[in-house]
Structure 1
Amino acid sequence: MIMHCVFIRFRQETGTEEKQALYDEIAGLKRVLPGMVDFKSGANVSPEGLDSGYGDGFVVTFEDSAARDAYLDHPDHAVVSEKLVAAAAGGISGILVFDMAV
């Protein structure tokens, strides 16, 4: 399995409803992408203070790297990715992606 972890520094003016709409759109990809097992999203709740400003994030779990790669290449993913980059502080520099095999 692959855990695709995405952490975001949203622009200050990005509201809760806009964030949820983005998360809903990403979660909806499960309907068109076989191998997308799970999706979780939310705000950082760690008390450690080590988030480097990444206050929100999501994790997509895939059956394998092939399913993850299909997600990355899917045109619907490209559409929501553009929206996510536009909502992030500093654009792409406001997003951190970390994938791990579990």
Structure 2
Amino acid sequence: MILHTVLIRFKSTTDKARKKEIFDAAAALKDRLSGIVDIRFGPNVSPEGLGGGFEDALVVTFETAEARDAYLAHPDHVALGERIVAAAEGGLAGLLVFDLEI
């Protein structure tokens, strides 16, 4: 399985309602794309203070690397990615993406 983690540094002008719209759109992908085991999202709740300014995360668990790759190329994911980049501080600089094989 692949754990696809996206850390997001949203612009200060991105309110809770906009974040909810983005995360709800991400959650809806589970019903439309095969190979997704789980989608989780939300704010950083760590008390350590080591988040590097990344206050929110989106985590998608895939059955296989091939399922992840199909997701990355899918038009619905591309559209979602564009929304996230537009809402992130500095665009792509406001994201950190890390995939872990589990």
| TM more than 0.5 | yes
SS at the partner of 2:3? strand
* Percent identity of paired positions between Structure 1 and Structure 2: 53
Whether 1:67 aligns to 2:67 is yes
Q: CA deviation at 1:32?
A: 1.6
Cα deviation 1:38-94 (Å, max 9, x = unaligned):
011010011111100000011000001000001000001111100100000000000
Q: Which runs of 5+ in 2 are unaligned?
A: none
What residue number does 2:52 align with? 52
CA-based RMSD:
0.6
Moved runs in structure 1, 4+ residues, more than 4 A?
Answer: none
TM-score (normalizing by structure 2): 0.98
> What are the within-5 Å matches in structure 2 for residues 1-102 of structure 1?
1-102=1-102
- Which blocks of at least 5 consecutive residues in structure 1 are unaligned? none
- The alignment's TM-score, normalised by the length of structure 1, stands at 0.98
